[in-house]
Amino acid sequence: MEALKQKIRNVPDFPIPGINFKDVTTLFKDPSAFRMAVDRFVTEYADKSIDLVAAIEARGFILAPVLAYHMGMGIVPLRKPGKLPAETRRIEYDLEYGTDALEMHLDAVGPGNRVLIVDDLLATGGTAAAACQLVEDAGGIVAGVGFLIELSFLDGRKRLDGRPVFSLLEYGSDE
Ligand code: AMP
């Protein structure tokens, strides 16, 4: 896993001073690192019973479809406001920097659907908590919340309140 960490670029002070941005584009463009990351996720979720993958805009859109394809599942997008064309439910949340909102089509998740939520990175957990709430408000069950990166020092897991979290790479505040 250390080899994968080497492929992720740190961009200091982006998008605002004080944020050490984990740039995963450098991992995504490396064929063997990308494959290793995807394979590890597929292994993690192979024996979990999952009906649907939910992808968080925007970097979740790169990882989640590959997983869904490999696992033989459908995929639903969780998008920034105003992007989805049909009727949506919206949840607003706080970010590590600023505030934002996520929307999901009302008919995207059905009652009892077991959903795997995927994003690139868990920071404070606000985004993922909003994603969980969207799925659960629709009657779905959060069967997993998967991340490439977890910034452990921000305690985002706590905010996910016991939902099953998996992260491939954990980072401390000095990394
Ligand atoms: P949070 O809601 O605080 O857990 O933030 C997670 C979302 O913000 C994810 O969609 C990430 O892509 C993005 N994000 C937050 N902090 C960072 C960071 N330090 N580096 C890269 N992306 C980040």
The per-residue pLDDT for range 66-88, each reduced to its tens digit, is 999 999 999 999 999 999 999 99
Q: For helices 31-45 and 60-71, what crossing angle results, to 10°?
A: 60
* Residue 153 domain-assigned (yes or no): yes
* Residue 125 domain-assigned (yes or no): yes
Distance, CA of 126 to CA of 3 (rounded, Å): 28
Is 57 a residue of the active site?
A: no
| 123 Cα to the center of ligand 1, angstroms | 5
CATH number for the domain that contains residue 134: 3.40.50.2020
Q: Ligand 1 site: residues with CB under 6 angstroms?
A: 19-22, 56, 59, 95-96, 119-128, 156
Residue 55's beta-bridge partner residues? 77, 118
* Residue 17 domain-assigned (yes or no): no
Tokens 């077991």 belong to which residue? 114
Q: Which domain holds residue 73?
A: 48-171
* Residue 37 domain-assigned (yes or no): no
**Statement: residue 42 has pLDDT above 90:** yes
SS3 83: coil
The per-residue pLDDT for range 135-170, each reduced to its tens digit, is 999 999 999 999 999 999 999 999 999 999 999 999
The per-residue pLDDT for range 4-21, each reduced to its tens digit, is 999 999 999 999 999 999
Distance, CA of 41 to CA of 127 (rounded, Å): 20
Is 96 a residue of the active site?
A: yes
pTM summary value: 0.97
* Residue 39 domain-assigned (yes or no): no
Number of structural domains, the chain?
1
Q: Are strands 9-12 and 20-23 parallel, antiparallel or unpaired?
A: antiparallel
